[in-house]
Amino acid sequence: METGPDSLFVTLLLLLHSSHSESEKFEVLGPTDPIVAVAGDDIILPCYLKPNISAEDMTVDWLNLDFKDGRVYRYQNRKIIREDQIPSYIGRTSLFKEELWRGNTSLKLTRVQGTDEGRYKCFIKALSWYDDFTIQVLVKAVGSKPVVSIEGHREGGMGLLCESEGWHPEPELAWLDSKGVHLSAGPPETHRDFKGFYRVKQHVIVQETNTNRFTCRVQQSRINEKMETEVHLPSELFDTTPWRISFIVLSCLGAITVIGLSLAIYCICIKKEDITEKLDELRKERGK
Ligand SMILES: *[C@@H]1O[C@H](CO)[C@@H](O)[C@H](O)[C@H]1NC(C)=O
Ligand SMILES: *[C@@H]1O[C@H](CO)[C@@H](O)[C@H](O)[C@H]1NC(C)=O
C-alpha cells in the first residue's frame, strides 16, 4: 500500500507522455498524379496533415528535389524563413496562413516558369515526429508562331531560317515541303533562357518546286501542341541571273587584277635586268 501513490503517479506520467506523443503522430499527404501547370499561371501544390491537426507550431519545408542547395519555402517558429531560398522562387511562394490550424500546408506558387518543373517535397516536422510527401509538377508552355526569314541564295538554292521561342518542354522543329515531306536541314539550335523556356531555330536550303511552298513546324508531343508557318516564295527569287552577272563582273575584275599584277612584276624584272646590265658595264670599264 506504501508504494501505491508513487506507482500511480509514474503510471499517470507515462500515460500523459504516451498520449502526448500519440497526438503528435501524423501523416503528410498530397496528390499522387502530377500537377500540370501552364506557364504564367498561379498554382497550388496541395499538402496536408492526416489527422487534420494544427501545423501552426510545426516546421514546414518545401523543397525542389532538382536543387541540391536551398529551399523553395520554409515556415518555422510561426515565421517565414527567407534564408537559403532558391533565387528563382523569391517573391513567388506562400503558404495559406489561415489554413495552417487545420493541417493544410499547401504551397501557392505564382507566375509559373520553365525552371519550376520537377519533384517537390513537402516536409513537416513537429517536436517528436515528422513525415513528408513528394509531388510532381510538369510545366507546359506553348511557344510563339514560328518566324521564317529569307536569307538569300545559298549553294544553288534559297536559304531560309525558322525561329520560335517560349516553349516548355523542349520542342522539335521540322522543315516540310508542300506535300508534308521532311526536308533535310541544318543542325537544330536550341537555347534555354533564365526562366527555363526554350528557343529553337534551324536553317534550310530549298530548291525551286512547282508550288514553292514550304512549312516550318515546331511541335511538342508531350503537351500535344504544335505551331506552323507556311511561306510561299515567288519563283523570281530563284532566278539566279543577278547572281550570274555579279559572278561575271567579279571574274572580269579578277582577270584585270591578275593581268595588272603580271605586268607590274614584268616591269620590275626588266628594270632589275637593266640595272644589272649597267653595273656589269661599269665593272668592265673599271677593269680596263
Ligand atoms: C478535420 O477532419 C474531420 C474528419 O475528417 C472533419 O470532420 C473536420 O471538419 C476537420 N476539421 C477541419 C478544421 O478541417
Ligand atoms: C488548402 O487550402 C487551399 C487554399 O485555400 C485550398 O485550395 C485547398 O483545397 C486546401 N486543402 C485542403 C486539403 O483542405
Cα 100 to middle of ligand 1, angstroms? 13
Q: pLDDT, tens digit, for every residue of 149-204? A: 999 998 889 999 999 999 999 999 999 999 999 999 999 999 999 999 999 999 99
- According to the model, what pLDDT value does residue 223 have? 95
CA-wise closest residue to 45 among 34, 60, 53: 34
Indicate the pTM of the whole model: 0.74
Query: Rounded CA gap, 83 and 80, in Å?
Result: 9
What residue's CA is closest to ligand 1, atom 2? Answer: 52
CA-wise closest residue to 160 among 199, 186, 181: 186
The DSSP call for residue 145 is P
- Whether ligand 1 lies within 6 angstroms of the CB of 50 is answered as no
Residue 34 placed within a domain = yes
Cα 126 to middle of ligand 1, angstroms? 20
pLDDT of 4 strictly over 80? no
Both 30 and 136 in one domain: the answer is yes
User: What CATH number should be reported for the domain holding residue 153?
Assistant: 2.60.40.10
Both 204 and 252 in one domain: the answer is no
- According to the model, what pLDDT value does residue 215 have? 98
| Mean pLDDT value of segment 272-285 | 69
Both 39 and 127 in one domain: the answer is yes
Both 126 and 30 in one domain: the answer is yes
**Confidence bin at 252 (pLDDT 50/70/90):** low
Residue 113 placed within a domain = yes
- Whether ligand 1 lies within 6 angstroms of the CB of 102 is answered as yes
pLDDT of 2 strictly over 60? no
Q: What percent of the chain has pLDDT over 90?
A: 71
Quick one: cell of 125? 516536422
- Hey, CA dihedral for 162, 167, 172, 177, is it positive or negative? negative
Structural domains counted in the chain? 3
Contacts of 65 (CB under 8 A, 6+ apart): 118, 119, 120, 121, 134
**Confidence bin at 246 (pLDDT 50/70/90):** low
- According to the model, what pLDDT value does residue 23 have? 59
Quick one: cell of 137? 509538377
Cα 95 to middle of ligand 2, angstroms? 10
Q: What is the CA radius of gyration of the chain?
A: 39
Q: pLDDT, tens digit, for every residue of 201-217? A: 999 999 999 999 999 99
Query: Rounded CA gap, 115 and 109, in Å?
Result: 12
- According to the model, what pLDDT value does residue 238 have? 86
CB distance 208 to 124 below 8 Å:
no
Residue 280 placed within a domain = no
What residue's CA is closest to ligand 1, atom 8? Answer: 52
Query: Reduced to 3 states, what is the DSSP secondary structure of residue 256?
Result: helix
CB distance 87 to 194 below 8 Å:
no
**H helices within the chain, ranges in order?**
4-24, 241-287
- According to the model, what pLDDT value does residue 222 have? 94
Query: Rounded CA gap, 150 and 88, in Å?
Result: 38
Both 247 and 227 in one domain: the answer is no
Cis peptide before 171 (omega within 30 of 0): no
Domain termination site, one of 108, 140, 172: 140
Q: pLDDT, tens digit, for every residue of 73-122? A: 999 999 999 999 999 999 999 999 999 999 999 999 999 999 999 999 99
Residue 19 placed within a domain = no
Both 216 and 247 in one domain: the answer is no
Q: What percent of the chain has pLDDT over 70?
A: 77
What residue's CA is closest to ligand 1, atom 12? Answer: 102
Residue 264 placed within a domain = yes
Query: Rounded CA gap, 167 and 141, in Å?
Result: 5
Both 182 and 227 in one domain: the answer is yes
pLDDT of 126 strictly over 70? yes
Residue 229 placed within a domain = yes
pLDDT of 16 strictly over 60? no
pLDDT of 250 strictly over 70? no
Residue 16 placed within a domain = no
Indicate which atom in ligand 1 lies nearest the CA of residue 52: 1
Residue 180 placed within a domain = yes
Domain termination site, one of 140, 161, 194: 140
pLDDT of 25 strictly over 60? yes
Q: Is 242 exposed, middle or buried (0-12, 13-18, 19+ CB in 10 A)?
A: exposed
Quick one: cell of 63? 523543397
More confident residue, 281 or 126: 126
Domain that holds residue 216: 147-238
Closest ligand (CA of 133): 2
- According to the model, what pLDDT value does residue 163 have? 98
Query: Rounded CA gap, 204 and 216, in Å?
Result: 10
Query: Rounded CA gap, 83 and 101, in Å?
Result: 24
Cα 52 to middle of ligand 1, angstroms? 6
pLDDT of 245 strictly over 60? no
Quick one: cell of 17? 507522455
